[in-house]
Every structure is written in C-alpha cells, then in structure tokens.
Structure 1
Amino acid sequence: MDKMKVTYEVMLSLAAEMVWDEALRKHRSEELYKGIDEALASGDELAFRNLTDELKTLN
C-alpha cells in the first residue's frame, strides 16, 4: 500500500507542477501581448521584434 501512496503523491506533484507551469506561461504570454501593443503604439520596432520572438518561443 505504501508504494501506491508514493505513486499517488508523485502523480499529484506532477499534476501540480503542470498547472503551475501553465499558469506561468499564460501570465508571461499576457505580459508579452501588452508589451507588443505598447511597442506598436510607440513605434518601437526593436521592442516589437524582441517581444514577438519571445512569444513565438513561448508558444
């Protein structure tokens, strides 16, 4: 029974890590979209390119 408990705890930990990673990815994606909008509004081509490149690697 202890082996099942350990397995369950490992699976639960993995699921929690996956949820956390997705939340961080979503948050960063939202930040990048805001930065891209600001770069477009201000005409900052370099910032736009850098932010869109990061967004591409994130997805």
Structure 2
Amino acid sequence: MDKMKVSYEAMLGLAAEMVLDKAVVEFRTQRLYQAIDKALATGDKDTFRRLTDELKTLHA
C-alpha cells in the first residue's frame, strides 16, 4: 500500500510541475508579445529582434 501511495504522490507532483511549467511559459509568452508590440510601435529594431529570438527559444 505504501508503494502505491508513493507512486500516486510522485504522479501528482509531476502533474503539478507540468501545470506550473505551462503557466510560466504562457505568462512569459504574453509578456514577450507585449514587449514586442511596444518595440514595434517605437521602431526599436534591436529590441524587437532580441525579443523575437527569446520567444522562438521559449517555444523551441
């Protein structure tokens, strides 16, 4: 019984980690899109390129 409980807790921990990872990626993506929009609006090419590279890396 204890072995099943340990396995169940490990699975719950893994599921929680996956949910948290997805939330962090979604949050960071949203922030990057906002910053990219701002860089486009101000014509800041260097920042735009840096941020789009970061976004590509995040989703690679």
State the TM-score, normalizing by the size of structure 2.
Answer: 0.97
Structure 2: runs of 5 or more not aligned: none
Task: Using the TM superposition, give the Cα deviation of residue 26 of structure 1 relative to its aligned residue in structure 2, in angstroms.
Answer: 0.2
Counterpart for residue 42 of structure 2? 42
RMSD: 0.3
Tell me which stretches of 4 or more aligned residues in structure 1 moved more than 6 Å: none
| Partner Cα separation in structure 1 for residue 11 and residue 41 of structure 2 | 45
| Partner Cα separation in structure 2 for residue 46 and residue 31 of structure 1 | 17
| Partner Cα separation in structure 2 for residue 21 and residue 55 of structure 1 | 15
Structure 1: runs of 5 or more not aligned: none
Counterpart for residue 11 of structure 2? 11
Counterpart for residue 24 of structure 1? 24
Percent identical pairs in the alignment equals: 64
State the TM-score, normalizing by the size of structure 1.
Answer: 0.99
Task: Using the TM superposition, give the Cα deviation of residue 12 of structure 1 relative to its aligned residue in structure 2, in angstroms.
Answer: 0.2
Count of aligned pairs between the two proteins: 59
| Partner Cα separation in structure 1 for residue 31 and residue 8 of structure 2 | 35
